[in-house]
């Protein structure tokens, strides 16, 4: 996709973080937007930032883990915009817990949002995207933890690894059909996802120490959004964002077993 002007983009998690940054940058480029979030206040803030731009912006309060809600979302977006060119499956959560500290409810919640949210998004929007073949693209947010799972991130790593594999298969199936697929592997980005994870941390002091170390290399959301949109324009199958993510990717391939020992040196 060479440009975004007069296209229509659906962005889940559009009320904060990367989703909000993507919305603002796409809006600057003349792209119409369908913002999706469970946080109505966040969506209103995103829409406020887009005020004055000559685009149509719709907001949709929806739980991406709900099949019923996502089915209705697709209908609502088409009713508001008549078409869809871009689908950003961006909504996600994480936990800072050992596997033994996870309840089954934790697992169901994170799989529902992180994985089913992506599957539902693709399932219900793909028919509409195919109608825009040649000007259609799916962008799925994975993570650098899809390269190697860190401690206290078993559920997050599981869902993000699944998104990686799912996106690669989808790319192979849709290649040549006019619908691009890009899987995004961000490293540490300055969003509120880790602030939310702090609430579930079993050892908040240890989590805070680890987070302080990670924050030193965290990338601003605006820069991450620019790199994602650049990858879409270039029709890249994947994009790795941030020095930390690139190091994870390279190190895992160079030292597939030894690299995991790095986690033993992290504060705990």
Nearest to residue 248, comparing CAs of 120, 161, 129? Answer: 161
Q: What is the DSSP string of 122-180?
A: HHHHHHHHHTTTTSEEEEEE--GGGTSPPTTBHHHHHHHHHHHHHHHHHHHHHTTTTEE
Catalytic pick from 4, 116, 147, 156?
156
CA angle 164, 81, 51 (to 5 degrees): 90
pLDDT of res. 201: 52
- pLDDT tens by residue, 3-27: 999 999 999 999 999 999 999 999 9
Angle at 146 between CA 142 and CA 148, to 5 degrees: 155
pLDDT at 262: 76
Give yes or no for a contact between 117 and 69, defined as CB atoms under 8 angstroms apart.
no
Q: CA nearest 188: which of 224, 218, 221?
A: 218
Helix (H) or strand (E) holding 11: strand 8-12
pLDDT at res. 170: 99
Which residue positions in the chain have pLDDT lower than 50? 198
For residue 57, what are the contacts with CB-CB under 8 A and spacing of at least 6?
27, 32, 33, 34, 35, 47, 50
For 151-197, the pLDDT digits (tens) are 999 999 999 999 999 999 999 999 999 999 999 999 999 877 555 55
| Domains located in the chain, CATH noted | 8-265 (3.40.50.720)
Query: Encoding tokens for residue 45?
Result: 């803030």
Q: Which is it for strands 86-89 and 8-12: parallel, antiparallel or unpaired?
A: parallel
pLDDT of residue 65: 99
Q: Which of 161, 109, 112, 111 is nearest to 140 (CA)?
A: 161
pLDDT of residue 261: 81
Contact residues for 71 (Cβ-Cβ < 8 A; gap 6+): 120, 124
Beta 179-186 vs 238-241: how paired, if at all?
parallel
* pLDDT for residue 260: 84
What pLDDT is attached to residue 243?
Answer: 95
220 to 37, 215, 227: CA distances (angstroms): 21, 10, 11
Q: What is the DSSP letter of 6?
A: T
Contact 252, 42 (CB under 8 A): no
120 is catalytic: no
């Amino acid at each position: 996709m060479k440009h975004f002007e007069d296209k229509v983009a659906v962005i889940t998690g559009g009320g904060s973080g990367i989703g909000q940054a993507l919305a603002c940058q796409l809006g600057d480029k003349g792209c119409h937007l369908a913002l999706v979030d469970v946080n109505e206040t966040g969506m209103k803030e995103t829409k406020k930032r887009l005020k004055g731009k000559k685009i149509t912006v719709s907001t949709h309060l929806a739980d991406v883990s709900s099949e019923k809600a996502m089915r209705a979302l697709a209908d609502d977006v088409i009713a508001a915009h008549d078409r869809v060119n871009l689908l950003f499956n961006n909504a996600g959560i994480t936990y800072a817990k050992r596997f033994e500290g996870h309840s089954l409810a934790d697992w169901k919640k994170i799989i529902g949002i992180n994985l089913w949210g992506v599957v539902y998004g693709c399932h219900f929007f793909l028919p509409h995207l195919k109608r825009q073949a040649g000007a259609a693209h799916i962008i799925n947010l994975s993570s650098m933890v899809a390269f190697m799972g860190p401690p206290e991130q078993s559920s997050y790593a599981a869902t993000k690894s699944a998104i990686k594999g799912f996106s690669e298969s989808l790319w192979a199936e849709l290649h040549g059909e006019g619908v691009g697929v890009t899987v995004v592997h961000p490293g540490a980005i300055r969003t509120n996802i880790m602030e939310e994870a702090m609430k579930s941390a079993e050892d908040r002091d240890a989590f805070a120490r680890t987070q302080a170390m990670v924050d030193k290399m965290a990338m601003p959301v605006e820069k991450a959004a620019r790199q994602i949109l650049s990858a879409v324009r270039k029709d890249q199958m994947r994009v790795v964002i941030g020095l930390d993510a690139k190091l994870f990717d390279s190190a895992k391939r160079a030292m597939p077993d030894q690299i995991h020992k790095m986690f033993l040196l992290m504060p705990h």
